[in-house]
Amino acid sequence: MKQKSKAELWIAFAAIALIYVAVTVLEQTVDSNHIIFTVLKKGAIYSLVAVSMNLLNGFTGLFSLGQAGFMLIGAYTYSIFTMPTEVKLTESVYKYYEAAIKFDTGIFVGLICAGLAAALFAALIGLPVLRLKSDYLAIATIGFAEIIRAIFQWDVLGPVTNGANVMRNYLDLTDVKIPFTDIAFPPTLYVFLASGVCIGLIVLLINSSYGRAFKAIRDDEVAAEAMGINLFKHKEMSFIISSFFAGVSGALLAMYQYTVQAAQFKSAMTYEILLIVVIGGIGSVSGSLIASFLYIAASEWWLRGLDMGKFLGIEAPNLFRSGFRRFVFSIIIMMIVLFFSKGLMGDKEISFAGLVRRFNKRAKTAKGGGIDG
């Protein structure tokens, strides 16, 4: 049995390595303006935030809807920290305020600080909020996300957050360099590495004894408490860790977008992430990954035509006009919610052994059918 699981692990590593090699090769061969890179980068960023939301909603059973708020904190912390001091001192970004923070850090420090800032807020918010249950928790976390958005747009804090104005000219994906050299790091690979490492950490956490405690809380709070699990401590821990990674993904989103503005992080964004988690299956990391890439690919690439007047070769500018894509999309999502409430993966993970088993089963039934016929 142990031998087998070791083999599984190697296969998983090989598959992951293969993905990275594929991304690297793709990036060296295909024109960098191709839409596939948008999909890959944004998909990787959304994967990270979807997995972090899944850690809370799927593995700990806390229905939290504050993800956009934590992404906002991450994005802003990152942009404030990595904006070069020269830029801060001129009027190009801080036009109406005098920048209060007069130092700048590198990308890596910026990413870590983004996560830490989000985690710190989460720790504070968690104290009152995590005592609430299900829908009250949901509405309170939405509320906090809105409060965070209001705070970041407040003009009194303008010297730090630039008020409601756009943040730009910070270090973005094109500024990433290979360490100790001046050669640009392939941007898509960088996003994949950053979110890959984070998702890996989350998976390790889920499989640790803490992760088992989270799942116990999800399945039955009373029983978990009777087993000696400190409910509040574990909920707070899950909340803080999830927010940390949401903050990092917010920072990555800021890097990808070149500009960032608080108004972007509305509760609609959280809903979008929640729907990705639901499509992938609540409680399945691999489901969230697949769903993120599918969602982004469909909305940015495959269904583009629905907005542009031409789809699948049919031209109907009156029907396929701006906004139709999202309309069709939300209908598909409703179908999934109503009829496939388990999502793509349910609460299972993708595994090589599982695929083999399914394949064998199918082969067997096919054979059986042959004999009967």
Partner 1 sequence: MLDFLHANLSYFLSGISVGGQYALIAIGYTMVYGILRLINFAHGDVFMVAGLMMVYLSTALPVTIAIPLVLIMTVVLGFVIERAAYKPLRTAPRMSVMISAIGISYLLQNAALYFTGGLAKVYPAIPWLSQSVTIWGSTTKMVTIVTPILTIVLVVLLTLLIKYTKVGMAMRAVSKDFETSRLMGIRINSVISVTFVIGSFLAAVGSILYFTNYASVTPISGGMPGLKCFVAAVFGGIGSIPGAVIGAFIIGIAENIIKGGTSIFGFGGSGWTTFSDAFTFALLIIILVVKPTGLFGEKATDKA
128 binds partner 1 (CB under 8 A): yes
Segment interacting with partner 1 (CB under 8 A) among 7-15, 40-48, 146-154, 231-239: 146-154
- The residue among 104 and 307 lying less far from partner 1, judged by its C-beta, is 307
Answer yes or no: are the C-beta atoms of 241 and 119 closer than 8 Å.
Answer: yes
DSSP letter (8 states) at residue 283: T
DSSP letter (8 states) at residue 185: P
DSSP letter (8 states) at residue 42: H
Segment interacting with partner 1 (CB under 8 A) among 113-121, 227-235, 253-261, 329-337: 329-337
24 binds partner 1 (CB under 8 A): no
**Half-sphere exposure in the Cβ direction for 243 (13 Å, CA):** 29
Number of residues that bind partner 1 (CB under 8 A): 48
Name which of 52, 18, 70, 1 is nearest 289 in CA terms: 52
Segment interacting with partner 1 (CB under 8 A) among 4-12, 142-150, 194-202, 294-302: 142-150
Least distance between partner 1 and beta carbon 45 (Å): 20
* Distance separating alpha carbons of residues 304 and 16, to the nearest angstrom: 29
The residue type of 24 is T
- Name the token pair of 363: 């082969």
DSSP E strands, 128-176: none
The residue type of 252 is L
Least distance between partner 1 and beta carbon 309 (Å): 14
- The residue among 73 and 173 lying less far from partner 1, judged by its C-beta, is 73
153 binds partner 1 (CB under 8 A): yes
Which one of 32, 90, 134, 351 is in contact with partner 1 (CB under 8 A)? Answer: 134
Helix axes of 2-29 and 352-372: crossing angle, nearest 10 degrees? 100
The residues, ordered by sequence, that sit 6+ positions from 337 with a Cβ below 8 Å of its Cβ are 275, 278
Least distance between partner 1 and beta carbon 340 (Å): 11
Least distance between partner 1 and beta carbon 239 (Å): 15
Which one of 26, 231, 333, 350 is in contact with partner 1 (CB under 8 A)? Answer: 333
341 binds partner 1 (CB under 8 A): yes
Q: b/e per residue, 99-130, with b = 16+ CB within 10 A? A: beeeebbebeebbbbbbbbbbbbbeebbeebb
Question: Residues 163-202: x/- map of binding to partner 1 (CB under 8 A)?
Answer: -x--------------------------------------
327 binds partner 1 (CB under 8 A): yes
Least distance between partner 1 and beta carbon 223 (Å): 17
68 binds partner 1 (CB under 8 A): no
- The residue among 139 and 201 lying less far from partner 1, judged by its C-beta, is 139
Which one of 37, 70, 121, 144 is in contact with partner 1 (CB under 8 A)? Answer: 144
Which one of 32, 85, 207, 330 is in contact with partner 1 (CB under 8 A)? Answer: 330
222 binds partner 1 (CB under 8 A): no
* Distance separating alpha carbons of residues 96 and 166, to the nearest angstrom: 12
- The residue among 15 and 331 lying less far from partner 1, judged by its C-beta, is 331
* Distance separating alpha carbons of residues 172 and 31, to the nearest angstrom: 20
Answer yes or no: are the C-beta atoms of 281 and 344 closer than 8 Å.
Answer: yes
100 binds partner 1 (CB under 8 A): no
Q: Three-state DSSP class for 260?
A: strand
Answer yes or no: are the C-beta atoms of 240 and 126 closer than 8 Å.
Answer: yes
Question: Residues 250-269: x/- map of binding to partner 1 (CB under 8 A)?
Answer: -----------------xx-
Least distance between partner 1 and beta carbon 165 (Å): 13
Distances (CA, A) of 304 to 158, 284, 295, 296, 318: 37, 28, 12, 11, 15
136 binds partner 1 (CB under 8 A): yes
Name which of 24, 68, 16 is nearest 285 in CA terms: 16
Binding positions for partner 1, rule: CB under 8 A: 57, 63, 128-129, 131-136, 138-140, 142-144, 146-147, 149-151, 153-156, 164, 267-268, 271-272, 274-275, 278, 282, 321-324, 326-327, 329-331, 333-334, 337-338, 341
